[in-house]
Chains A and B, each alone.
Chain A
Amino acid sequence: MRMRVSLARKAMREKLFYGILLAAALAIVGSMTMPVLIERRMAQYHLRSASYAEWVGLQLLPSMYSFSNHAEVTAENKEGNRVAVENAYTEKAAGRVNHFPLRRVLFEPVDHSQWSDVQIRVRSRLRGQELSSSFVVTHDEQLGELLEVRSETP
């Protein structure tokens, strides 16, 4: 009897894990083939999901090197001219990024003593569908760096 219960539990555990894998696989395929969901996936990459809960759910789906992503960082220098800010790694101000294009301002230090009104424009594409977003990074003595959506196009 105990053995039968143990086998039933084992089978349930296996089914549950396979079920989770299958659900994730279907979510990946669906979200990369249906235009309305592709839009949500690109919004996820731009940290612009409808809610944090939606973003959290989409983050569970593996997506290394997805979409064609482009990022460009510009800022105003001390003379008040808008100039391109180079990527410390590739030494380019604008260019393709493998995934999550906002990394250009989230992981690279922005020198606020040199620059003001730092802006990042990001664009993602998948089979002709496109999403563009523009963000501004400001410096606050108390709060640190503030990232805000400045303009967005569907």
Chain B
Amino acid sequence: MKSAPADRRLPTVALVWFALVLANAVKWQWLSSMLMWRLDHPVSYEPFPGWATSPGLAMVAWIFPFLTLPVWLLPQRFLRQSLLCVAVINLVSALGLLWHIQTHNDATFTVAVWGWLWIVFQLSGRDDPRPAFVSRSALGVVSLFFLGGFMGKLTPEYWTGEVIYDIYFQGKPEPFWEWVRARFSSDLLPRLAAWFSRLMIFTEAGLACLVLLPERIRILRRIGIFTGMVAIGMMAIMANIQILSVLLPLLALLLVAWRKSPVH
């Protein structure tokens, strides 16, 4: 009996899939302790339905993607359909977390929703998607994410650096920010914050434009994607480890865009 041919889209899907599960794992320490504590001290808020305030439900939705990993061990014949079903359930889990009072603020689950939706679109359909679609749709998700951040920063408080000064230059206890406070005089920090904040705005604007990179100009596309990866890497260094839950799936999508770029 002939075995079914390997589905060529699976390595690409696997990269984003495992990045999304790893992103959930990054939240382990914070989310597990907070939700465990909330099991005994749930929050009630009248405008929200009961399920959207249940800590137990949030816990299940968060753990679910880990439990689905063995699906990758299924035989090739059923693999795509099984992965598609599980990806849909993981998408529902991510939506549950995004709409839950205890986890609604976490950009991890905004990325998760868009990441799982991207996977669902890659796996639906019997034939492999076109490389151009794989690449451009991955860039589209990354661009959408940074477009949201960019538009929300178009306000004087970000341009003058006040917000970044308060949150990062004064508030962050991580080693990088400790070093910045020790290295530069307190008079200089607000000015540094202003330039850092403007750099953030321009970087996010650039990342929001990644989807517009032309497919035909090979060098420009590669430089754009590579710069995007470097920018995301820098964000990871400057924040704490928790930010990896947001950045890892975005980095995986950029890798997919690089790998599946039609110029290859």
Contact = CB atoms under 8 A, between A and B. Distances in A.
Interface of A: 6, 9-10, 13-14, 16-18, 20-21, 24-25, 28-29, 32-33, 47-49, 51-52, 55-56, 59-68, 89-90, 92, 95-100, 102-103, 106-107, 109, 125-127, 140, 143-148
Contacts of A64: 107, 110, 145, 148-149, 152, 246
Contacts, number: 163
Contact of B148 (A13, A63, A146): A63
A147 B163 contact: no
A63 B43 contact: no
A17 B144 CA distance: 13
Interface in B152-168: 152-158, 162-163, 166-167
A68 B151 contact: no
Contacts of A52: 47-49, 52
B116 interface: no
A63 B149 contact: yes
B129 A14 contact: yes
Interface in B194-244: 200, 211
B73 to A, nearest CB: 27
A68 B163 contact: yes
B114 A62 contact: yes
A21 B141 contact: yes
A13 B110 contact: no
Interface residues of B, number: 62
Contacts of B48: 47, 52
Consensus secondary structure, chain A interface: mixed
A66 B149 contact: yes
B72 interface: no
A20 B145 CA distance: 13
B187 interface: no
A144 B104 CA distance: 19
B249 interface: no
A68 B167 CA distance: 11
Interface string B136-152: 11001101111111011
B102 interface: yes
Contact of A28 (B45, B133, B137, B148): B148
Given A25-B147, A59-B104, A96-B166, A90 B155 contact: no
B148 A66 contact: yes
